[in-house]
Structure 1
Amino acid sequence: MISCFPLAIPVIATILIWFWASELSLLQLLVNIMELLMLFTVLGTALIAAKEVNNAGIKPDRKKGIYSATTWFFLITFLWVVCYPIYLYKRKHYGLDNKFFVGIIISIIFLVSWGVMNSTIENKKTEIIKQLNFFK
């Protein structure tokens, strides 16, 4: 069951972007919901990956590309765009299914959704600020 969690987190975040964040008023978005969704996604996938690696109980071997749970946590946290798909590929070294291709598709959909929605929100904020400055 836990093997689908690293994929489920970006899917859930994408659903929240399109069906929740897109419906919020601009005043509600001042708390930077989009940044929180990105943070939730990155840290959530990093934590789940670290948990999976830890549960596998395989000793790290850098020559074989087998890293510790802590290493995966920090790699995914700080380089999510690159290391999350790499982790999904390297899961096979831990006795888990290789989810690379599905992960790439999910990552692209999440990142494009986040980028489009974040850009739309920022453009709307800028437009409103310009309109407010017009009345000065």
Structure 2
Amino acid sequence: MSETPATLKYIETHQWVRVADDGTATVGITDFAQEQLGDVIFVGVPELGVTVTGGEEAGVAESVKSASDIFSPVTGEVIEVNEKLEDEPELVNEDPYGDGWLFRVQLEDAGELDGLMDATAYAAHAASEG
């Protein structure tokens, strides 16, 4: 069974977001997503300074089995990317909610979070696909 932390918000395409008190939002892929992908061998993240849009493509994760688009759950300017993933893409498999995070944005509209799934809704969604 996949892990689904209650402190995060989720979107149907299996990305999560964690918002800090300062309005920055960290984005990653879920445990379910990394299990479906298999061994991740490459992660493409957006460039610093670009604006990503909630629900739109922001990167790609490639595994030995397939490639999958990464969607941003929220809208905002990319202020940091996880540079460790360049040399260690397997962090996405090993720690999808910790060291395997993908990028951080300065959240444009906190109200956008209201439209995202909580852990219970996401777990039900993932179970329906699994």
TM band (smaller chain) = under 0.3
Could you say which structure has the larger radius of gyration? 1
| Structure with greater strand share of residues | 2
The TM-score normalised by the length of structure 2 is 0.27
| Structure with greater helix share of residues | 1
